[in-house]
Amino acid sequence: MSGPRYHRTREQDQRLVAFECQSCGYVSFPDEKQTCKRCGDAPATFEEVQLAERGEIKTFVVQEYLPDDIEVPQPLAIVDLPQADGSGESARVYGLLTETELDELSVGTEVEARFRELFDDGERPINSFKFSVPREVKR
Amino acid sequence: MTDAHVVGSGIIDFGEKYEWAFDDLLEGAYLDLVESVDHGIEPTKDIDAIWYGTLDIANEGSSGASVAHATGLFEKPATQIVNACATGSDAFRNAVQAVKAGDVEVALVIGAEKMLDSTEGLIGGAALERLWRGRGVTMPAFFGMRATRHMDQYETTREQIAEVSVKNHENGTKYPHAHQQFECSVDDVKESATVSYPLNLYDCCPVTDGACAVLVTNDERSREFTDAPVRVAGYGFSTDSFMRGDDLALTNFPASRQASSMAYERSGYGPDDIDVAEVHDCFSITELITYEDLGFCEQGEGGTFIDDGVPHLDGEKPVNPSGGLLSKGHPIGATGVAQIAEIFEQLRGEAGDVQVPDAEVGLQHNIGIGRNATGAVSCVNILER
């Protein structure tokens, strides 16, 4: 391999940059493409948009059974992240959660992206985000 | 244009088949088919082409040459189909299309998977790199997320979800080829180990080796093989993804709605006409939301549908009389073909202890998850006697 493939999306990982289809308003994250997943426009015109760091849990699970080298419980959610300026649609993303207590989590819970080292590929740290329940929202 | 008909099927008992190599699985299903065609078959002469479904998880069966090696059927077109967990159904669909087009008279459809020779396993394969694109999302997590949201949005209960597994395990004890032949209660399901909250061990299908084959032919040749052919009335295939932003895709599978609409339209049948169905129950929740996706009940009513006993063996619309993936097992390449084989037997009145009385129209549904757990493929076939 000419280089680690996850380096192609450093911008999206580290700054929550997304791409809005100018035909249908679909917000693509993390994919930066020339075709639209929703309306099929090809070629589509996309404009770069900034996502907010706070979003809402649409659904979640808590993974208890994973390969030995991965910490469990490992909560995982689908999160809608709105655009930072409040315009247009949200982006729908997968994200790990830092919370492991079930009573902290429900559909509709507000979460915040926290940027951190997600893992190490042996040569370099890979930085991305996990979601946490913001302190003032905690029950 | 001719119709396509299923005129024979062959299967091996699903299970942990350590003594059987991958080729043995294929050969076993093939021989069972050859020996069970009502009027007999001369395979090397009669079979024109082969559609072969496998993900080749054991890394022993890539390309159409593998099925030729396992069966002796050389000097013929042999196509490997790979389409996630819908692999076997899509192999069948492709064979049906070729027969209907008149290009092939007699097609062998065969699917096999040796799940237990995988060193990594399906959960191990979901490494955590690039999580937001679905890496690190295991299959129980992917389907569990539908359960969490369905319970929240429609007040579906944990017990209703568990009841799917209870029903299918009960059916599986009556189906001779099922891998896991035991009954369980709602409490057993709720008390089994958590795999990925809210799903527990008995909400998940087992890891199973298996193989199955069916024979497909045209109007002209069908009576050559049997007096009771089963007509392929319609088929559909589609893909979709929750990443396209539709909230429906957080609880259900739009791809299944699209595929079933295509199959209903082609066949002229609707959900009310289906007498028996084999559907994809890789997890208990998958079957519950599939009742809705196939139009067997209204959106959000899947829990009530099973509470009312409709999909039970003695209910109005029996679903998964074979025990489904939850009991029978889910050897990926074989799964869809085995569902077709069960509908074939049901419509011929040969389904033994799980026979649905007077079944005339049957539906088979098979979904797969691809692209790092972000996209779904769905295949639906409708058969009639």
Question: Cα separation of B296 and B272, whole Å?
Answer: 7
Chain segment A11-45, per-residue pLDDT in tens: 888 789 999 999 999 999 988 999 999 999 999 99
Question: Cα separation of B375 and B385, whole Å?
Answer: 34
User: Between A114 and A10, where is the model more confident?
Assistant: A114
Is B85 annotated in the active site?
Answer: yes
Task: Reply yes or no on whether the pLDDT at A137 is more than 90.
Answer: no
Same topology, domains B4-117+208-228 and B128-206+231-384? Answer is yes
Tell me the CATH architecture of domain B128-206+231-384: 3-Layer(aba) Sandwich (3.40)
DSSP B73: -
Nearest chain A CA: its distance from B94 CA (Å): 25
Chain segment B50-63, per-residue pLDDT in tens: 999 999 999 999 99
Return the pLDDT at A126: 75
Chain segment B19-34, per-residue pLDDT in tens: 999 999 999 999 999 9
DSSP B117: G
Q: Does B118 touch chain A (CB under 8 A)?
A: no
Return the pLDDT at A15: 87
Residue A100 confidence class, pLDDT cut points 50, 70, 90: confident
- ipTM entry: 0.93
Question: Cα separation of A86 and A56, whole Å?
Answer: 14
Question: Cα separation of B289 and B323, whole Å?
Answer: 17
Is B297 annotated in the active site?
Answer: no
Fill in the amino acid letter for B299: Q
Task: Reply yes or no on whether the pLDDT at B129 is more than 70.
Answer: no
Residue A1 confidence class, pLDDT cut points 50, 70, 90: low
* Cross-chain CB nearest to A64 (options B196, B243, B245): B196
Cβ pair B244:A58 closer than 8 A? no
**Chain A residues lying within 8 Å of B153, measured CB to CB:** 107
Given 3.30.70.2860, 3.50.50.60, 3.40.630.30, 3.40.47.10, which CATH number is that of B4-117+208-228?
3.40.47.10
Cβ pair B145:A66 closer than 8 A? no
Spatial CB neighbours of B36, under 8 Å, sequence gap ≥ 6: B8, B9, B10
Show me where the domains of chain B are located: 4-117+208-228, 128-206+231-384
Mean pLDDT of chain A: 88
Three-state SS at A103: helix
Catalytic entry in B169, B179, B330, B365: B330
From residue B203, how far is each of A119, B14, B208, B327 by CA, in Å?
31, 19, 15, 10
Return the pLDDT at A101: 83
Residue B128 confidence class, pLDDT cut points 50, 70, 90: low
Chain segment B131-184, per-residue pLDDT in tens: 666 677 889 999 999 999 999 999 999 999 999 999 999 999 999 999 999 999
Mean pLDDT of chain B: 96
Return the pLDDT at A9: 78
How does A105-117 read in b/e, with b if 16+ C-beta sit within 10 Å? bebebebbbeeee
Question: Cα separation of B89 and B364, whole Å?
Answer: 8
* Cross-chain CB nearest to A59 (options B126, B138, B145): B145
Residue B200 confidence class, pLDDT cut points 50, 70, 90: very high
Residue B309 confidence class, pLDDT cut points 50, 70, 90: very high
Return the pLDDT at A66: 84
Question: To the nearest whole percent, how much of chain B has pLDDT over 70?
Answer: 96
Q: Does A83 touch chain B (CB under 8 A)?
A: no
Cβ pair B128:A128 closer than 8 A? no
Residue A8 confidence class, pLDDT cut points 50, 70, 90: confident
Task: Reply yes or no on whether the pLDDT at A132 is more than 80.
Answer: yes
Task: Reply yes or no on whether the pLDDT at A127 is more than 90.
Answer: no
> What does the CA dihedral B344, B286, B134, B378 come to, rounded to 10 degrees?
30
* Cross-chain CB nearest to A6 (options B130, B140, B146): B130
**Chain A residues lying within 8 Å of B136, measured CB to CB:** 70, 74, 76, 96
Chain segment B70-79, per-residue pLDDT in tens: 999 999 999 9
Task: Reply yes or no on whether the pLDDT at B127 is more than 80.
Answer: no
Q: Does B89 touch chain A (CB under 8 A)?
A: no
Chain segment B312-352, per-residue pLDDT in tens: 999 999 999 999 999 999 999 999 999 999 999 999 999 99
Nearest chain B CA: its distance from A38 CA (Å): 5
Question: Cα separation of B143 and B296, whole Å?
Answer: 20
> What does the CA dihedral A29, A33, A38, A42 come to, rounded to 10 degrees?
170
| CB contact at 8 A, B208 and B14 | yes
Return the pLDDT at B147: 98
Q: Does B156 touch chain A (CB under 8 A)?
A: no
Q: Does B122 touch chain A (CB under 8 A)?
A: no
Chain segment B218-244, per-residue pLDDT in tens: 999 999 999 999 999 999 999 999 999
Cβ pair B195:A65 closer than 8 A? yes
